[in-house]
Amino acid sequence: MERADVLVVGAGLAGLSASVFLALGGVDVLTVERHPGTSLHPRASGQTPRTMELYRFAGIDRKVLGVSERASQGLRITVAASLSGPVFHRIVEDLGEVDLSAATAAPWGMAGQDVVEPILLERAREAGADVRFSTELVSFTQDDDGVTAVLRSRTGSETTVRASYLVAADGGRSRIREALGIGTSGLGAIAQSIGVVFDADLGDRLLPGVTDLFYLQHAEFTGALVNTDVPGRYVCAVDIGPGETADDFPEERLVHLIRGATDLPDLEPKIQWTGAWEMAARVADRFAAGRVFLVGDAAKVTPPTGGMGGNTAVGDGHDIAWKLTAVLRGDAGPGLLDSYEAERRPIAEMVVSTSLHNAKERMMPDLDLTGVAPPVDQLALTLGFRYRSGAVLTEDDDLLENPVEPSGRPGFRAPHVPTATGSTWDFLGHGWVVFGTGGWRDAVAEVRAETGIALEYRECGADFDDPDGVFRARFGLGDGGASLVRPDGIVAWRCPGGAADPAATLWDVLARVLSR
C-alpha cells in the first residue's frame, strides 16, 4: 500500500494548483489524472491579477506572462454578427487601460490553459509532487483517520493508496462528488455547444498581439471565436440547436460555420480538434465531506462568459492547499479546514451568477434569470472580495469593497502599498506576516519561537519604506498598530492601535484563526 499526505484526483488548473502549493509547503502529495497529459485545448484563457498574485507565490508568474506573445498584452471583447460584420456592443476595448495600480502590483495575464498547465505541472514536480497521468480513481473510502483509494493505470494495474486527505479536482461531472452524495444547485445546463480548434490565416480580422474575443450573434448561429497562444490557431464555439447533437456537425458543416464567422467564404481551415461541451451553472451544495474537499469544476460549473471559471479553480486549489498544509504541519487544528467551504462557496456563487448575467448580455438574450442573484462588479469580485469564516476576525458585515480604495479590514486582501523596493506584497505568500507601526517585533519573535509557525514581522519605516505615505491609511493602523496577514494574502486580524500585551494578544488571535 502506498501512502501520501494528500491525494489529488485531477490535474487541471485546480488540481495542479493544489499540487504545487501542497508540495511547496512540504506536503507529500500524489496527483493522478485519467487523461494521458495536460489539456490540449486553450479552454480557460486569461489570468486575473489575483491569480497572478498566487502564481507569484509559486514562482511561476514570469513564465506564465512570457509563455506567448499575447500572454501579457491587452484584451478586447466584442459582441458582433461576425468578425467583420456589424458590431452590437464592445464590452472591453483595452483591458490595459484599467488602472489597478492602487490595488495590486500584479498584472493581468492572457495565457491559455493549454500552455499554463504544463508550467504548473513542471513546478509541482520540481517541488516534489508525484503526478501520474493515465491513472484513474476506481474507488475510495474514508474513516476518522484518512482516505483509502484504489487507483488503476492505463495498463490495468491497480494500486491502493492511503492518504490523510483527498482533494477532488475531477471536473464538472465529478464522480467523487457523486459518490459522496453531494448534490448541486443552480440553473443547470443552459446550452450545448460544439467547439473547434482550427489553424488558418485570418488576415487582419483580429487584432495582433492581444486576446481578441468575439461573441457572435450570426444569422445562422450563436457562438464565440478567439485567438490562442499558438500563432494562426483559433477556437470557435457554436451553440447546438434543439434536437441536434455533435453528430450533426461533420467537418464540412464546421468549415461552413467558420467561414460565416470569419467572413472569409473561401477559407480552408485546418481543424485540429472538435468536441461537444455543455454550458451550465451549478454550485455544489457542500464543498467538503469528512476528509474530502471539492475544488474547481467539481465544486462549481460556470458559464465561460467572464473568464472566471479557471481563475476560481486556481483560487480553490491554493486555498485548500495552504490550509491542509497548516493542519498537516501541526500549525492549525482540523477546524481550520471548515473555513474552506465558508470562504470559497460564496465566491463560487457570485462567479456563477455574474457569469450568467454576462451570458445573457453577450450571447443569450432570452435566458431566464428569474431568481438568480444580481451580478457583481468583476473587479470587486477579483480583488475586492471578502472572506468570512472562523479563520478571519471580521469587524463588520461588508462583503465587497472597491479594490482601488482598500481598507485593510480583516477578510479582505492585504493592501498593496508601494515601497522603495517594490510592494508590501513582496513579503507575502510564504507564511504569516504581521505588518506594524512599532511595538510588535519582540512579540512576533516570541510567538514564532514557541509555536514554530512561519511568522514574520515587517515594520513600516524599519523593514520597508513608505515613500508615498499611504501605509497607515490603507492598512487602517495608527501608532503601535498591527495587521496579521495569512499565507494567502488575506488580512486575518488587525489592531488599529497598540496592545497592552502584544505577545498574549497575538497568541490569542492565532489560536482563534488557526483553531488551535
> Which residues are the active-site residues?
215
- Residue 464, classed as helix, strand or coil, is strand
Phi, psi dihedral angles at 350 (to 5 degrees): -70, -40
User: Is 182 in contact with 59 (CB distance < 8 Å)?
Assistant: no
Strand segments (E) across 101-242: 130-132, 135-142, 147-153, 158-168, 184-199, 211-217, 222-227, 233-239
What is the rounded distance in angstroms from the CA atom of residue 391 to the CA atom of residue 337? 9
365 contacts 222 by C-beta, under 8 angstroms:
no
* Residue 136: HSE in the Cβ half-sphere, 13 Å Cα cutoff: 12
Q: In what order do the strands lie in the sheet with 300-301?
A: 87-92, 75-80, 211-217, 222-227, 233-239, 184-199, 270-284, 300-301
- Cell 487541471: give the residue: 12
User: What residue type is 318 in one-letter code?
Assistant: H
> Of 489, 468, 484, 494, which is closest to residue 426 (Cα–Cα)?
489
Residue where the block lists cell 486555498: 319
CA pair distance 60, 52, nearest whole angstrom: 9
Sign of the C-alpha dihedral, residues 438, 439, 445, 450? negative
Q: What is the distance between the alpha carbons of residues 41 and 416, in angstroms, rounded to a whole number?
A: 34
Q: Is 128 exposed, middle or buried (0-12, 13-18, 19+ CB in 10 A)?
A: middle
Work out the widest C-alpha separation in the chain, in whole angstroms: 78
